[in-house]
Structure 1
Amino acid sequence: MSDAVRTSVPAAAAIRAPSVGGVAVHVRGLRRVFGPRAVLDGLELTIGRGEFVALLGASGSGKTTLLRILGALDGADAGEVLVPEARTIVFQEPRLVPSKRVLANVTIALPRGQAERGRRALSEVGLEGHADAWPATLSGGEAQRVALARALVREPELLLLDEPFAALDALTRLRMQDLVGELCRNHRPAVLLVTHDVDEAVRLADRICVLRDGQLVTDEPVAVDRPRDPGDPAFAALRRRLLTDLGVHPPGTAPGPDHPTSPAPLV
């Protein structure tokens, strides 16, 4: 990455910069302080173009803070952050505008005359017949699919997902995971998924990071063949390692010297 596009991050917002080479996101020495506590303290992270990274961490570890800084919804106190100009966020709640129909919600950030583009996006998420529906008539899974269509219709280079399936029932969550995986393979944005679900991270990601004490204590490629089955020994072994890094020790394992003896909440 060229030094010409590197600059310090002001407290106001993350720096916007075009992707350089094969890198979509570059974070170096990132620090964010709330009161006496540094939630992010010298964090380093790189995400390649088209790479899907999952971020795990206990409650209050700074996962969403990092995502908000990358999405320019929060500022940093120190460090360098390079992100693409074209980036979108999908939150846990769909955040649809209730007074606009589904198609208008999908195209809300686009110039006028983009209805056909919005219809194609709805078709991709399996909602081509819902263009004229009102948000109040949608199920939770349908509303979240509209939110995904709204994010992807802008053709982002970086897609930020903040626990987007947490409010869904188990079956709908699995279907949404499959859909997101397929959409990301088709569109190839860089992806950062913040999640508390270890199985979800292993199922979807190319790489998994664990955030603890303001830094990434784990940054590991997912070497599990697709489609990924939780019964695969490689899947189960990676799950056990990640749980240990999170301070949660599966039955039959003992806590190491660097981990707490009681489980940490994963929310």
Structure 2
Amino acid sequence: MTADTTTAAALAPSSPRSPAPPSAAERTAPAVHLRGLRRVFGTRAVLDGVDLSIARGEFVALLGASGTGKTTLLRILGALDQADEGTVLVPPVRTVVFQEPRLVPSKRVLANVTVGLPRGAATRETGLKALAEVGLERHAEAWPATLSGGEAQRVALARALVREPQLLLLDEPFAALDALTRLRMQDLVGDLVRRHRPAVLLVTHDVDEAVRLADRVVVLRDGLLARDEAVTVESPRDPADPAFADLRRRLLADLGVH
């Protein structure tokens, strides 16, 4: 059986002159809709019937031990891999930020941000605005080799958000950063997501990071989602808050850490 992979745009009514306004059903439809998702490598089903929905503007963190299929799931949502079975409904505009910034060494910072955008008078202005949002407008003409790890990852984030994605996929984007830079990047991502309101899926091994940033946390285990729980900890989320600590303890238990 082959997977039914569809973009949200394919389901929306359209006109050759101008797009039709979204219906009430389309406005409330999830940005991501997975049903019965399976991905098999050899004889092993890494994803074995995953059901997941992510609302527009919702931030979901995905936890799981190494090798459980977290990145495989993200790659399928980003059209970098294909499901073997199931329904995959995703919006047409989606971007990925990886653990490594993956900047083009031969292009300056601004050119890295706008790479792939349609050519036009607004491209430079759009790129500079995106760099300003991540605090790097003064680095527009710098070369990637001159940036720190945190600065390079901020450029990668600006490159993802400049396209105004409906779905932002984050694959452990802070894992290579030092602890202080990581916290600052978490705050920056949280602020930018609130401002741009894409649906977000964050793949992470860091339970505290998941609880600190996400509206919901899901845990992938044995090819299925073992937990799907809303984060109700009050903001600003403090690890010393008993509710934060209680959720952290339950999530660690799901991951086999007691």
> Residue 223 of structure 1: SS of its match in structure 2?
coil
Q: How many residue pairs are counted as aligned between the two chains?
A: 239
1:17-56 matched pairs, under 5 angstroms? 17-18=8-9, 20-22=26-28, 23-56=30-63
Superposed CA deviations along residues 205-260 of structure 1, whole A, max 9, x for unmatched, are 000000000000100000001110000000000000000011111xxxxxxxxxxx
State the partner residue of 1:121. Answer: 130
Deviation at 1:109, TM superposition (A): 1.5
State the TM-score, normalized to the length of structure 2. 0.91
Pairing 1:214–2:205 present: no
Point out where structure 2 has 5 or more consecutive residues left out of the alignment: 13-25
Q: What is the distance in 2 between the residues matched to 1:9 and 1:187?
A: 30
Contact 1:9 1:15 in 2 (8 A): no
State the partner residue of 1:137. Answer: 146
In the alignment, residue 156 of structure 2 is paired with which amino acid? A
Superposed CA deviations along residues 70-98 of structure 1, whole A, max 9, x for unmatched, are 00000010000000000000000000000
Deviation at 1:17, TM superposition (A): 2.4
In the alignment, residue 188 of structure 2 is paired with which amino acid? L
State the partner residue of 2:68. Answer: 61
1:100-119 matched pairs, under 5 angstroms? 100-113=107-120, 114-119=123-128
Contact 1:107 1:150 in 2 (8 A): yes
> Residue 63 of structure 2: SS of its match in structure 1?
strand
Q: What is the distance in 1 between the residues matched to 2:27 and 2:77?
A: 19
Deviation at 1:137, TM superposition (A): 0.2
State the partner residue of 2:207. Answer: 198
Amino-acid identity (%): 79
Task: Choose which of 169, 180, 187 in structure 2 pairs with 1:171.
Answer: 180
State the partner residue of 1:264. Answer: none
Point out where structure 1 has 5 or more consecutive residues left out of the alignment: 1-7, 250-267
Q: What is the distance in 1 between the residues matched to 2:223 and 2:90?
A: 20
Structure 1 runs, 4 residues or longer, greater than 6 Å off = none
The root-mean-square deviation of aligned C-alpha atoms, in Å, is 1.0
State the partner residue of 2:7. Answer: 16
Pairing 1:78–2:69 present: no
> Residue 21 of structure 1: SS of its match in structure 2?
helix
In the alignment, residue 61 of structure 1 is paired with which amino acid? T
Considering fraction of residues, name the structure with more helix. 2
Q: What is the distance in 1 between the residues matched to 2:105 and 2:229?
A: 41
State the partner residue of 1:155. Answer: 164
Contact 2:8 2:31 in 1 (8 A): no
Q: What is the distance in 1 between the residues matched to 2:199 and 2:116?
A: 20
Q: What is the distance in 1 between the residues matched to 2:165 and 2:158?
A: 11
